[in-house]
C-alpha cells in the first residue's frame, strides 16, 4: 500500500523533555488514520511535527517519499493542510475572508486571485454547507458552524492530505457526527488522506481505516480498528478497564468502560435478593 507520510527514527521534544522517541510511522495514502492515546502522550505533538510546525530533535519525516525538511513551505502547503486544535480567527473576519486564506499558498506577485481560486473557495463553502454564512463574522457563529468554516478554509487549500487536531472538541454529539461524516465523505468521494487526533475511542473506531495507538513515546499498536482495539489495549494505553463489544450499527469495536456509575442490572439483582 502506498504511503502518504512516513517517519523514520523520529524523536520529538520540548526542551529536554522527550515526547516521541525514535518512531517509525507509516500513514497509508487515501485512508483515514486516527491517533489515539492518553492525555499528554504526544498525539498533537506528532501531528504538529508532521505538519512541519515543530522541528524534530532527530529523525526524518517524508511526504509522498520526499523529505519534508527539503521542501519549501509553499510546496508543503500545496500537498498538506492542517487544522490545529481550537483555532481563533481575528475579530470581525467573515467566513468568506477566512476560507479565502486557504488559497494563500497559490498566490504570488505574478499570480493573484483567479477564477479558479474563486471556484475552489465556493466549492469548499458548498461542501461544508456554509454558503449562506459566508458574510457572517466567524466569531458570531455557533461551535459547529465555526468548525465547518475552518474546515472549509482547509479544503480551499486543495490538498490531498488533511491533518486535524481534535476536530470535534467542544462540539455536541450531533455536530461531532456532522463533522466526522463530512471528513468521511471527503475521503470516500475524493480519496483524500485524512489524519486526525480523536479522544472518543468509539468514534475513532467508526471512522478510521487505520488506528495508531501511542503510549510511552512510541507506537503501542497500529492497524485496522477491528484488529487492534481490545480490552488489553485500552487497559495499557488508557489505564482503564473496559469491555469491548461490537457497534450494532457499524460492526466496529465499541468500548464500554468499567466504572462506578449507576448500574441498572445491579439494582435489579439487589431488588430481587
Please say whether the beta carbons of 219 and 45 come within 8 A: no
Q: How confident is the model at residue 266 (pLDDT cuts 50, 70, 90)?
A: low
Does the residue 19 lie in any domain?
yes
Q: What is the pLDDT of residue 265?
A: 59
Q: Is residue 262 part of a domain?
A: no
Inside any domain, residue 85: yes
Please give the tally of structural domains in the chain: 1
| Tens-digit pLDDT profile for residues 63-115 | 999 999 999 998 999 999 999 888 888 899 999 999 999 998 888 776 788 89
The answer to whether 28 touches 2, Cβ cutoff 8 Å, is yes
Is residue 256 assigned to a domain?
Answer: no
Q: Which of 157, 160, 141 is nearest to 74 (CA)?
A: 157
Inside any domain, residue 249: no
pLDDT at 272 over 60: no
Whether residue 136 is contained in a domain is answered as yes
Instruction: Indicate which CATH number applies to the domain containing 193.
Output: 3.40.50.300
pLDDT for the residue 38: 93
- Which one, of 220, 163, 205, 166, lies nearest residue 186 by Cα? 163
Q: Which grid cell is 4?
A: 502518504
Does 71 reside within a domain?
yes
pLDDT in the model for residue 264: 65
User: Angle at Cα 58 formed by Cα 52 and Cα 60, nearest 5°?
Assistant: 55
Q: Report yes or no on 266 lying in a domain.
A: no
Structural domain for 167, as ranges: 3-242
What pLDDT, in 10s, does the model give residues 181-227?
989 999 999 999 999 999 999 999 999 999 999 999 999 999 999 99
pLDDT attached to residue 179: 87
Amino acid at each position: 500500500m502506498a504511503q502518504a507520510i512516513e517517519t523514520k527514527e523520529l524523536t520529538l521534544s520540548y526542551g529536554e523533555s522527550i515526547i516521541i522517541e525514535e518512531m517509525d510511522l507509516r500513514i497509508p495514502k487515501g485512508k483515514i488514520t486516527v491517533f489515539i492515546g492518553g492525555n499528554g502522550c504526544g498525539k498533537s505533538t506528532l501531528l504538529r511535527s508532521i505538519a512541519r510546525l515543530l522541528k524534530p530533535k532527530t529523525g526524518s519525516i517524508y511526504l509522498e517519499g520526499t523529505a519534508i525538511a527539503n521542501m519549501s513551505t509553499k510546496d508543503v502547503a500545496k500537498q498538506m493542510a492542517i487544522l490545529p486544535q481550537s483555532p481563533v480567527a481575528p475579530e470581525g473576519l467573515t467566513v468568506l475572508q477566512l476560507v479565502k486564506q486557504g488559497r494563500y499558498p497559490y498566490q504570488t506577485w505574478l499570480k493573484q486571485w483567479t477564477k479558479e481560486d474563486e471556484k475552489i473557495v465556493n466549492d469548499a463553502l458548498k461542501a461544508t454547507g456554509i454558503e449562506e454564512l459566508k458574510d457572517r463574522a466567524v466569531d458570531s457563529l455557533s461551535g459547529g458552524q465555526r468548525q465547518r468554516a475552518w474546515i472549509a478554509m482547509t479544503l480551499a487549500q486543495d490538498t490531498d492530505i488533511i491533518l486535524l487536531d481534535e476536530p470535534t472538541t467542544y462540539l455536541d454529539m450531533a455536530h461531532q457526527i456532522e463533522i466526522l461524516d463530512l471528513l468521511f465523505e471527503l475521503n470516500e468521494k475524493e480519496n483524500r488522506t485524512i489524519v486526525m487526533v480523536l479522544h472518543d475511542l468509539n468514534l475513532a473506531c467508526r471512522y478510521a481505516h487505520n488506528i495508531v495507538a501511542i503510549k510511552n513515546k512510541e507506537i503501542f499498536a497500529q492497524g485496522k480498528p477491528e484488529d487492534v482495539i481490545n480490552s488489553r489495549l485500552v487497559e495499557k494505553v488508557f489505564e482503564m478497564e473496559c469491555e469491548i463489544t461490537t457497534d450494532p450499527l457499524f460492526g466496529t469495536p465499541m468500548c464500554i468502560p468499567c466504572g462506578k456509575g449507576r448500574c441498572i442490572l445491579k439494582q435489579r439483582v439487589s431488588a430481587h435478593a
